[in-house]
A = this chain, B = another copy of it.
Amino acid sequence: MAQKQEYLSKNQKIVLDIIEKSAQPMKAYSILFNVQKKGLKAPPQVYRALDKLVEIGKIHKIESRNAFIACRNSACTIANATAFSICESCEDVKEISSSKLSKYLSNFQDKEGMKYNKYNLEFFGLCKKCK
């Protein structure tokens, strides 16, 4: 297992910063638009930073929405094991950090007895406000 990188590069900091300031997931091109004043002009600059940030667990990708959200788990140890609840009305997204759930899922065995320590789970429904 590769050691987690301890510092962030200039572009990675800029991209992480903008994502952390958003309560909700951000799309790549929205991030791009927001960081243009900081000198990041082209998609690859953003996508490279996103790739790295996902890899080290600072952010997560919400696959069903093609959007990126900052990890709020103190230690970001669950970069590979993520769970979210998504409101289908207002698109509010919350990361779920339940050790019970993560234990259950990392211990889950399929029919061939195989286990997985990497997974992504997205729950859909209506949030409190929208219900």
Q: State the A residues within 8 Å of B (CB).
A: 63-64, 80, 85, 94, 96, 98, 101, 104-105, 108, 110-112, 114-125, 128
Q: How far is the CB of A104 from chain B (nearest CB, A)?
A: 6
Which residue of B is nearest A131, CB measured? B114
Q: With a CB–CB cut-off of 8 A, which chain B residues contact A124?
A: 80, 116, 118-120
Cα(A116)–Cα(B108), bound, Å: 19
Are B110 and A96 in touch, CB under 8 angstroms? yes
Q: With a CB–CB cut-off of 8 A, which chain B residues contact A122?
A: 63, 119-121
Cα(A54)–Cα(B16), bound, Å: 34
Q: How far is the CB of A24 from chain B (nearest CB, A)?
A: 17
25 contacts between A and B (CB under 8 A): A63-B63, A63-B122, A64-B120, A85-B114, A85-B116, A96-B110, A96-B111, A98-B108, A98-B110, A98-B111, A101-B108, A104-B104, A105-B121, A105-B123, A108-B123, A112-B128, A114-B125, A114-B128, A116-B124, A116-B125, A119-B121, A119-B122, A119-B124, A121-B121, A121-B122
Cα(A96)–Cα(B121), bound, Å: 14
Cα(A129)–Cα(B119), bound, Å: 20
Cα(A108)–Cα(B98), bound, Å: 10
Cα(A105)–Cα(B119), bound, Å: 14
